[in-house]
C-alpha cells in the first residue's frame, strides 16, 4: 500500500511526500511591474514550512499582455528573476522543491493588460468582441515567450515549470475545439491542437536541460476524457514529466457525471488519467481535497501519485504536517469568498493567512 509519506522522484526532483501545493494566484501582492514582493516570499515560506512535498508557484505571466490583472506576478523580463530567486530560496531552505506555473490568458485577456489574442477569432470576455486570430509568426513568438520565461525560471532557482494548460487559458484554448477553429498545423486534429503546447515543451526541454522538471496542468476534458488523454499523450511525447489534471473549456462526456466517484468529478479526471498513464508518468488530481481522510484515500488506494491542494493549504499552511502527524488543522470552509478575482480575501476565515 502506498503512503502519503512515501517519497516520489519526478525526473530528478525528489518529493518527500505525496502532497503538492496547487497554483493559487495572489492578486495585489505584485504591483504593475509584476515583481515578487515580500508578501509572496512570506506566503511561500509559510507553506514550505508546512510539510508539502512540492510547491507550484501561482500562475505567472509570460508577457505583460497575458496577465489576469495589472497586479499579477510576471516572469517576462530579467528584472523579475531576482524576486523569484527569493521564493525558490525559502522553499529549498525548507527542503521543498518548487516549480512555477507559466501562463498567458489569450482570448480572455484583461483589456487593461493587452488585446485578446488566441488560436481563432472567438468571443472574448465581452462576447460582442472577437479575439484576434494569431498568425503563425505570432504563435512562434508566443511560444518563445514561454520558453524564455522557463529559462528565467531556471535561473531563478526553480526546479521546473508547470505550463498552465487548463482552465480556459491560452494553451487550453489551442487544445480545445471550441476555441480553436484553425485549419493549419495548429488546428483541426487533436495532434495539431496539442502542437502549440507540445512545441513549447520540447523547446523548454532543449533550453533547460534533461533534469528540469516539466509539468503540464492539463485539461481532463475537451470535450471528453479520451480526447484529453490524447492531448496529454502529445505533451508526454514532447517531454512532459508530470501531468497535473484539472478541468478545461468544454465538457461533453456524460460518463463523468454518472457518479460522484473519488469525491468529485474534477478529482475523478485525475484518477482516470492515472489509470491510463500509470507506470509511465506521475499524475495528480485536484479539487475539494481538504481533509486528511481524502488525502489518505486517494494515495493509499493508489488512485493517483500525488494530490494537489489549493484551498486546504491556504486555510492552513501547516495542513500537510498535520496530515502526516495526525494532528488537527484549520479546515477550509469552502466558502464563496475564496474566488479567483481581485476580491479574493487575503485573510482566510478558516484561520490561514493567504
Ligand atoms: C484563490 C485561488 C487562486 C487560484 N489561482 C490559480 C492559479 O493561479 N492557477 C491555476 O491553475 N489554478 C488556480 N486556482 C485553482 C486551484 O489551483 C484549484 O484547482 C482549485 O481551487 C480547486 O482545488 P481546491 O479544492 O484544493 O481549492 C486558484 C484557486 C483559488 C481558490
Mutate to test the pocket of ligand 1, among 165, 215, 307, 310 (most ligand atoms within 8 A of CB): 310
Q: Is residue 197 in a domain?
A: yes
Residues within a 6 A CB radius of ligand 1: 22-25, 58-59, 101, 164, 167, 217, 246, 286-289, 309-312, 338, 340, 344
pLDDT at 179: 97
Q: Best substitution site from 23, 30, 215, 354 to test ligand 1's pocket, by max atoms within 8 Å of Cβ?
A: 23
**Interval 59-63 mean pLDDT:** 98
> Quick check: 154 pLDDT over 80?
yes
List the residue whose alpha carbon is closest to atom 11 of ligand 1: 23
Q: Over range 215-241, report the average pLDDT.
A: 97
* 336 part of a folded domain: no
Looking at ligand 1, which atom is closest to the CA of residue 311?
27
Give mean pLDDT, residues 116-144: 96
Nearest atom (ligand 1) to Cα of 266: 22
- The answer, yes or no, to whether residue 342 has pLDDT greater than 90, is no
Ligand 1 centre from 68 Cα, in Å?
14
Tell me whether residue 289 is in a domain: no
Q: Whose CA is nearest to atom 23 of ligand 1?
A: 287
The C-alpha atoms of residue 282 and residue 185 are separated, in whole angstroms, by 29
Rounded distance from Cα 167 to ligand 1 centre (Å): 10
- For 131-149, write each residue's pLDDT tens digit: 999 999 999 999 999 999 9
The Å distance, Cα 65 to ligand 1 centre, comes to 21
Q: Decide the pairing of beta strands 13-15 and 8-10.
A: antiparallel
C-beta of residue 174 within 8 angstroms of C-beta of residue 140: no
For residue 230, being part of any structural domain is answered with yes
In a domain, 48, yes or no: yes
Q: Is residue 84 scored above 50 in pLDDT?
A: yes
Q: How far is 72 from 342, CA to CA, in rounded Å?
A: 10
pLDDT at 256: 57
- Grid coordinates standing for 179? 476555441
Q: How far is CA 297 from the centre of its chain?
A: 23
Share the mean pLDDT of the chain. Answer: 93
3-state DSSP percent of the chain in helix, strand and coil, to 5? 35, 15, 45
Helices (H), the chain: 38-48, 81-93, 136-155, 170-175, 190-208, 225-238, 265-277, 292-300, 311-315, 319-324
Cα 317 to middle of ligand 1, angstroms: 15
Output the pLDDT for position 336. Answer: 72
Q: 324 in a domain, yes or no?
A: no
The whole-angstrom distance between residue 189's C-alpha and the CA centroid of its chain comes to 24
Would you call 329 exposed, middle or buried from its count of C-beta atoms within 10 A (0-12, 13-18, 19+)? buried
Q: Confidence band (pLDDT; 50, 70, 90) for 339?
A: low
Cα within 13 Å of Cα(255), Cβ side: 9
148 CA to middle of ligand 1, Å? 25
pLDDT per position as a tens digit, 294-324: 999 999 999 999 999 999 999 999 999 999 9
Determine which residue's CA is closest to atom 29 belonging to ligand 1: 24
Question: 22 alpha carbon to ligand 1 midpoint, in Å?
Answer: 6
Q: Backbone phi, then psi, for 244, in 5-degree steps?
A: -115, 110
Question: Does residue 51 register a pLDDT over 90?
Answer: yes
In this structure, of 30-44, 307-321, 339-353, the range with the lowest mean pLDDT score is 339-353
- Which CATH number does the domain housing residue 50 bear? 3.20.20.70
Provide the pLDDT for residue 21.
98
What percentage of the chain has pLDDT greater than the value 90? 85
Q: Which atom of ligand 1 is nearest to the CA of 59?
A: 8
When divided into structural domains, the chain yields a total of: 1
Please tell me the distance between residue 137's alpha carbon and the centre of ligand 1 in angstroms: 32
Q: What is the mean pLDDT of residues 104-122?
A: 97
Residue 139 lies in a domain: yes
Average pLDDT over residues 141-160: 99
Residues in the chain: 354
Of residues 151 and 354, the one with the higher pLDDT is 151
- pLDDT band with cut points at 50, 70 and 90 for residue 180: very high
Q: Fill in the DSSP letter of residue 188.
A: S
The count of other CB atoms within 10 Å of the CB of residue 190 is 18
Q: Give residue 262's pLDDT band: very low, low, confident or very high (50, 70, 90).
A: low
Find the helix packing angle between 38-48 and 81-93, rounded to 10°: 20
- CA separation for the pair 47, 343 (Å, rounded): 22
Range of the domain at 140: 15-282
Task: Give the number of the atom of ligand 1 that is nearest the alpha carbon of residue 58.
Answer: 8
84 within a domain of the structure (yes/no): yes
Amino acid at each position: 500500500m502506498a503512503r502519503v509519506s512515501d517519497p516520489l522522484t519526478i525526473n530528478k526532483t525528489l518529493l518527500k511526500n505525496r502532497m503538492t501545493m496547487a497554483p493559487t494566484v495572489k492578486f495585489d501582492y505584485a504591483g504593475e511591474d509584476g515583481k515578487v514582493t515580500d508578501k509572496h516570499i512570506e506566503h511561500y515560506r509559510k507553506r514550505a514550512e508546512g510539510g508539502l512535498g512540492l510547491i507550484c508557484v501561482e500562475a505567472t505571466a509570460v508577457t505583460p499582455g497575458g496577465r489576469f490583472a495589472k497586479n499579477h506576478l510576471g516572469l517576462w523580463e530579467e528584472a523579475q528573476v531576482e524576486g523569484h530567486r527569493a521564493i525558490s530560496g525559502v522553499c529549498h531552505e525548507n527542503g521543498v522543491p518548487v516549480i512555477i506555473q507559466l501562463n498567458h490568458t489569450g482570448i480572455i485577456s484583461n483589456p487593461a493588460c493587452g488585446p485578446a489574442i488566441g488560436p481563432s477569432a472567438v468571443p472574448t470576455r465581452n462576447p460582442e468582441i472577437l479575439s484576434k486570430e494569431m498568425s503563425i509568426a505570432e504563435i512562434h513568438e508566443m511560444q518563445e515567450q514561454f520558453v524564455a520565461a522557463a529559462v528565467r525560471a531556471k535561473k531563478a532557482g526553480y526546479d521546473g515549470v508547470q505550463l498552465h494548460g487548463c482552465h480556459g487559458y491560452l494553451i487550453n484554448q489551442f487544445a480545445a475545439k471550441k476555441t480553436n477553429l484553425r485549419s493549419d498545423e495548429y488546428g483541426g486534429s487533436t495532434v495539431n491542437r496539442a502542437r502549440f503546447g507540445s512545441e513549447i515543451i520540447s523547446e523548454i526541454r532543449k533550453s533547460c536541460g534533461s533534469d528540469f522538471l516539466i509539468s503540464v496542468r492539463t485539461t481532463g476534458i475537451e470535450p471528453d476524457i479520451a480526447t484529453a488523454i490524447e492531448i496529454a499523450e502529445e505533451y508526454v511525447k514532447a517531454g512532459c514529466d508530470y501531468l497535473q489534471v484539472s478541468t478545461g473549456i468544454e465538457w461533453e462526456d456524460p460518463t463523468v457525471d454518472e457518479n460522484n466517484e473519488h469525491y468529485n468529478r474534477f478529482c475523478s479526471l485525475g484518477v482516470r488519467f492515472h489509470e491510463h498513464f500509470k507506470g509511465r508518468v506521475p499524475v495528480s488530481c485536484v479539487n475539494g481535497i481538504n481533509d486528511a481522510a481524502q488525502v489518505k484515500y486517494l494515495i493509499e488506494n493508489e488512485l493517483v501519485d500525488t494530490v494537489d491542494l489549493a484551498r486546504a493549504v491556504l486555510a492552513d499552511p501547516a495542513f500537510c504536517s498535520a496530515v502526516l502527524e495526525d494532528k488537527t488543522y484549520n479546515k477550509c470552509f469552502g466558502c464563496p469568498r475564496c474566488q479567483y478575482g481581485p476580491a479574493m480575501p487575503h485573510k482566510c476565515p478558516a484561520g490561514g493567512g493567504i
